[in-house]
A and B are shown apart, each in its own frame.
Chain A
Amino acid sequence: MSLTYDDVVAKYEPVLGLEVHVELNTNSKMFCGCSTIFGAEPNTQTCPVCLALPGALPTVNEKAIESTIKIGLALNCSIAPFSRFARKNYFYPDMPKNFQISQYDEPICVDGYVDVEIQTDEGPKQFRVEVERVHMEEDTGKSLHVGGATGRIHGADYSLLDYNRAGIPLVEIVTKIVPGTGKYAPEVAKAYVSELRDILRGLGVSDVKMEQGSLRCDANVSLRLIGSDVLGTRSETKNVNSLRSVERAVRGEMIRHAELLNKGERVVQETRHFQEDTGLTRSGRSKEQAEDYRYFPEPDLVPVAPDAAWVEELRAGIPERPSLHRKRLQEAWNVPAKEMEAMINADVLGIVEATVALGADPTKARSWWLGEISRLANERDTAIADLAITPTDVAAIVALVEKGELTDKLARQVVEGVIAGEGTPAEVVSKRGIKVVNDDGALLAAIEKVCAEQAETAEKVRNGHLPAAGALIGAVMKETKGQADAARVRELLLGHLGQA
């Protein structure tokens, strides 16, 4: 590859556009009463409606409409007093009706924006990403193509169809083109999706798990020569399954486009699939020939006309924007930006906040959740939220440590006990008989024993080589089964060896 990213942005101005699909977390599907639980046995969450049996009719899930309106409001959109569903017609085996109920020219939310902040060479800078529309639609079923090299329908030996996903409520959020980002296009794209994810999580309308597909991003990228008004041909990159991938995909596409354009070649208007391993995209469906979906208003559903008073009621319930909320927390807790980001990435910010609200010191709360508890979650291959430990437990543990009733090391045992389901921290402490050894006599006895066993090391310390004390302290801690306060052990040991 000859072109560097700097070469690209010296010559071209990237034009971004982002389409995000969000699976709503409603209990039932968009147009029927079937359950939406992820990962059930194939075809167990279906009914005449989502299987498109002859005669079956859709009815609208009111909760999905409510969630969509909330999203629109949180993205500063206008809520249309009248909107309609439309049929998007095309044949595919995993689409039961062979049309998708979506919204076309009359979406429910229009004209919003999201402000995102990124770090630039000149410091933090804000970009406004304008939202063109937010609309509702239903998901398709899932095809599993078995055999063949590519895992695609062509060349497969056979295909399996699972209609559990058919009819899951989806919301599509489409931005207007985002010009003026310059070399920061990849960062802006990532920041937008990240901000969006936080907003949606804050609203409680979706799981927003990119890796499970409950939030999917398509990144549209084109380049134009700096100073030119002529928009370039865009590519649409799908399969972007993480925030990092959003950034990589945009950057990769910018370079790919620039290489083509520099060679005098043409960018093909097409769908491209992002490859997580290489960070490159591979060619998908061509969009040169615009597909004709024969949209028309869905005659089986009456128009959606939300009551203005209801919309206002929903507006009043929209929470503070997560990014503003975070800024407030960061200042209050006096945490470095990097640490904030770590908490967000580990999805513990809310839990830390709850722990702090229960009286725990912010730094301590953060280090428990981000450190030991995250590690244990990883070890068990579960989400932190699924562990049997609550902010109340952690706040109690922090308090016990502060009171000197637990050492950090003992506290870790308590955490483990709580997660193992042994009860509250107090219960674990009492059941396991955990207590700090405060008896200097017992500690000194242990110190003497250790110094006798490791006479050579003890001698080094006695001669002023303090780093050697670590090994002795460790041995004493072991001797006292970790129930001693390491600081006190150090103090007594150094006294014992004449180094106090």
Chain B
Amino acid sequence: MIRSTAAEMAAKLVAGEVTSVALTQAHLDRIASVDTDVHAFLHVDTEGALAQAAAIDAKRAKGEKLSPLAGVPLALKDVMAQKGIPTTCGSKILEGWRPPYDSTVVANLKKNDIVILGKTNMDEFAMGSSTENSAYGPTHNPWDLTRIPGGSGGGSSAALAAFEAPLAIGTDTGGSIRQPAAVTGTVGVKPTYGGVSRFGLVAFSSSLDQAGPCARTVLDAALLHEAIAGHDPKDSTSINAPVPQVVTAAKSGDVKGMKIGVVKELNGDGYQAGVRARFEESLELLAKAGAEIVEVSAPNFEYALAAYYLIAPSECSSNLARFDAMRYGLRVGDVDGASAESVMNLTREVGFGKEVKRRIILGTYALSSGYYDAYYGSAQKVRTLITQDFTSAFAKADVLVSPTCPTTAFKIGEKANDPLAMYLNDIATIPVNMAGIGGMSLPSGLADEDDLPVGFQIMSPVMKDERMYSVGAALEAALLSKWGAPLLDKAPVLGGAK
């Protein structure tokens, strides 16, 4: 049952073949049996999930009209505020904090009767590409427990790949949904910036952060996308427009006549051979399905990474200033006679990890008087140029595509002391955030050299998210018929087999 898709689970729930309580319990059991190895979860809300499931079953028994995903369980990235449930963002500084309010995403999940199993592990404050920066220990990739599950949302993607949950919520600032999806053989979508409310998403970089759906199929992602998206008056940057018809697009999977632009700059040198091979193969399948493949150029993408590492740290240096031990979270050094300043300093010293401190320092510097124009100011100009590159590319193609990341999952610890090598992982995903457009990663197979999942990235213009779902569904269908079974069937068996 737990290996089904969310859509299949929903159908069984509607047909009365299974109850939400049974489905939820099955996932809780799975978590209990495999999560000591995977460590996808930071908090499992057994009681809350079962209570929610029971309430949904009762509603269904009464014949109430329920939403498409009602009763299906989900794993929530620990960066999302959920009322009464520990929310740590993978950081010591928020240890023990229970929000007194629900984020809009959580409110939407509850409104749609999606059962929240618990909170998933992540790089501290979403800063990282491996989940190794969690203060609570790394998450392990279900394909190979010695490897990283991607980051920052490694917990969410690992939970999907380990069948601990059929759906998950991620957040994507520079690739934190898509890169974990790529290296775990799952699907992850970063919607258009403003498509999903950021209210209650603990901010890393406000102008880049975007919550989105994670799943094992394109259709499941689309169903979750529609459940969480929509205008929110509590988020000033939320777009006041109808939600793109992503479920319809995912169901049709029609790419006939669509122009698919291959971004010249996001391929070639630095990309693993197996990654490139799977990418080429996917392009052929899309062409066979009736799409026209064209090449486009985005000359300013080469500055994207550098600009990102000025903008994101700048915003984070300000966003994370509120963690000062005054109102919530960790408090260190509060002894008789200690000043507020020393308590703030000690708490931040103890509460933040190395990568978070690195970025706070970097951002503080970049915003400083005398450096602002050269750093933050220039980075914003690059951002405009990247947006312009996308605009011209979208004039030639309906969607753009690239490999999601240059390599497959690396070993835990392999890049922990080389931040630049770590940052390079996001070279193909970052431009999407810089321009605020939509991006999806879906599995395109295993790399020949290491038998590890490879991700295929699809990018669509602002509020044209349905396009990436059309292309994603078409490619997924073509690959499934080529493989004969979902890619995750090739993943090693966890837990019980051990």
User: A3 at the A/B interface (Cβ < 8 Å)?
Assistant: no
**Beta-carbon contacts of A92-125 to B below 8 Å, as 1s and 0s?**
0100111100000000000000000000000000
Interface residues of B in 190-206 (CB under 8 A from A): 198-203, 205-206
- Chain A 332-362 interface mask (CB, 8 Å, partner B; 1/0): 0000000000000000000000000000000
Would A55 and B199 be within 8 Å (CB), given that A48-B100, A159-B340 are in contact? yes
Contact check, A299 vs B199: say whether CB atoms are below 8 A apart. no
Query: CB of A225 within 8 A of chain B?
Result: no
B390 within 8 Å of A (CB atoms)? no
Query: Does the CB pair B369–A300 fall under 8 Å?
Result: no
Of the listed stretches A5-13, A57-65, A323-331, A461-469, chain B binds: A57-65
Contact (Cβ within 8 A) A302 B236: yes
Q: Does B87 contact A (CB under 8 A)?
A: yes
- For window 178-230 of chain A, which residues contact chain B by CB distance below 8 Å? none
On chain B, the number of residues with a Cβ less than 8 Å from chain A's Cβ atoms is 45
Q: Give Cα A277–Cα B373 distance, bound, in whole angstroms.
A: 47
- State in angstroms the CA–CA spacing of A299 and B237 once bound together: 8
Complex: A292 Cα to B364 Cα, angstroms: 10
Instruction: Assess A91 versus B344: contact at CB under 8 Å? Given A55-B80, A55-B99.
Output: yes
B328 within 8 A of A: yes
| Cβ-based interface call for B372 (8 A) | yes
Contacts of B367 in A (CB 8 A): 89, 294-296
Contact indicator per residue, chain B 365-385, by CB within 8 Å of chain A (1) or not (0): 001110010001000000000
A293 and chain B: residue at smallest CB distance? B369
Question: CB-CB < 8 A to B235: which residues of A?
Answer: 57, 59
Q: Is the CB of B100 within 8 A of A53?
A: yes
B339 neighbours in A (Cβ, 8 Å) = 153-154
* Nearest A residue (CB) for B320: A98
Contact flags B181-225 to A (C-beta < 8 A → 1, else 0): 000000000000000001111110111000000000000000000
Contact of A89 among B318, B326, B341 (CB under 8 A): B318
Our pick among A51, A52, A161, A294 for the contact of B369 (Cβ within 8 Å) is: A294
Q: What's the tally of chain A residues with a CB closer than 8 Å to chain B?
A: 32
Closest chain A residue to B321, Cβ basis: A98
Residues of A within 8 Å of B372, CB to CB, are 294, 296
Distance (whole angstroms) from the CB of B384 to the closest CB of chain A: 13
**Residue with the highest number of chain B CB atoms closer than 10 Å, among A52, A153, A290:** A52
In the complex formed, the residue of B with least CB distance to A89 is B318
A371: Cβ under 8 A from any B Cβ: no
Residue in A87, A97, A153, A299 with the greatest tally of chain B CB atoms within 10 Å = A299
Per-residue 0/1 for A24-59: is the Cβ within 8 Å of any B Cβ (1 yes, 0 no)?
A: 000000000000000000000000100111111111
Smallest beta-carbon distance A416→chain B, Å: 51
Q: Tell me the complex Cα distance, A153–B326, Å.
A: 15
Pick the contact of A59: B233, B321, B340 (CB < 8 A): B233
Report which residue of A57, A58, A87, A295 has the largest number of chain B beta carbons within 10 angstroms of its beta carbon. Answer: A57
Provide the residues of chain B in CB contact with A153, threshold 8 Å: 339-340
Given contacts A93-B324, A93-B340, contact A54 B237 (CB under 8 A): no
Which residues of A have CB within 8 Å of B498?
A: none
Q: Decide if A55 touches B236 in the complex (CB within 8 Å).
A: no
Q: A294 contacts which chain B residues (CB < 8 A)?
A: 317-318, 364, 367-369, 372
Chain B CB within 8 A of A301 CB: yes
Q: Which chain A residues (255-273) contact chain B, with CB distance < 8 Å?
A: none
Contact with A along B92-135 (1 / 0, CB 8 A): 00100101110100000000000000000000000000000000
Report if B441 contacts A (CB, 8 A).
no
Interface-central residue, A55, A58, A299, by most chain B CB under 10 Å: A55
**Smallest beta-carbon distance A411→chain B, Å:** 55
Min C-beta distance of A40 to chain B, whole Å? 18
Specify which of A51, A99, A290 is in contact with B318 (CB 8 Å cutoff). A99
* Residues in chain B near residue A93, CB distance under 8 A: 324, 326, 340, 344
B444 proximal to A (CB < 8 A): no
Residues of A within 8 A of B94 (CB): 54
Minimum CB–CB distance for A448 against chain B, Å: 81
CB neighbors of A among B318-369 (8 A): 318, 321-324, 326-328, 339-341, 344, 364, 367-369
Chain A to chain B contacts (Cβ below 8 Å), 27 pairs: A54-B87, A54-B89, A54-B94, A54-B99, A55-B87, A55-B201, A56-B101, A57-B235, A58-B236, A89-B317, A89-B367, A91-B344, A96-B322, A96-B326, A97-B322, A98-B321, A98-B324, A154-B339, A290-B369, A292-B368, A294-B318, A296-B367, A299-B207, A300-B203, A301-B237, A302-B236, A302-B237
Sorted from nearest, which 7 A-B pairs have the closest CB atoms?
Answer: A98-B321, A294-B367, A299-B206, A299-B207, A55-B200, A54-B202, A55-B81
Other than the known A56-B199, A300-B206, what 14 A-B pairs have Cβ atoms closer than 8 Å?
A51-B327, A53-B101, A57-B235, A57-B236, A59-B233, A89-B317, A96-B327, A98-B321, A153-B340, A290-B369, A294-B318, A294-B368, A296-B367, A300-B237
User: Which A residues contact B (CB, under 8 angstroms)?
Assistant: 48, 51-60, 87, 89, 91, 93, 96-99, 153-154, 159, 161, 290, 292, 294-296, 299-302
B residues whose Cβ falls under 8 Å from a Cβ of A: 80-81, 87, 89, 94, 97, 99-101, 103, 198-203, 205-207, 233-237, 314-315, 317-318, 321-324, 326-328, 339-341, 344, 364, 367-369, 372, 376
